[in-house]
Amino acid sequence: MATPGFDTAVVDYCQENELPITPGVMTPTDINQALTKGLKLLKFFPAEAAGGIKTLRAIAAPYVCVNFIPTGGINVNNFAEYLSLPMVHACGGSWIAKKELISSGQFETISQLAREAISLVASVRNSGGGQ
């Protein structure tokens, strides 16, 4: 389960019930809370609104054992740059399957956008960017 923020009660529940949890973080304090729970894969949210790549680099620097999944404002134009960061495990982006595309049944468009995203991931990962 991924959450938008760090909620101790949700994290505790998930850990007690052996459910995977990737809480959202935006500050070093959030990251410290996650580390006290033994979590090292965290969602960086809202990525772009929080300052984007520049902020992620800055807050991640002292946390070399932590990997992030940025979400919030990730799109086809910044996806590769996020993926190329060594602390980025993956990215989330709603541009692939926007509500409008789903509700209007444009599944071939969604499939094409997903194929393009997969190709971009492969390109970044094969070039040595990211992990």
Average pLDDT score, the chain: 94
pLDDT digits (tens, 9 = 90+) for 64-74: 999 999 999 99
The pLDDT-based confidence of 36 (bands split at 50, 70, 90) is: very high
Q: What pLDDT, on a 0 to 100 scale, did the predictor assign at position 129?
A: 65
Structural domains in the chain, CATH included, are 8-93 (3.20.20.70)
Cα–Cα distance for residue pair 74/93, rounded to 1 Å: 5
Q: What pLDDT, on a 0 to 100 scale, did the predictor assign at position 125?
A: 80
The pLDDT-based confidence of 130 (bands split at 50, 70, 90) is: low
Start-to-end CA distance of the chain, whole Å, equals 22
- Helix%, strand%, coil% for the chain, nearest 5: 45, 10, 45
- Tokens of residue 119, six digits: 């190709």
Quote the percentage of the chain above a pLDDT of 90.
Answer: 87
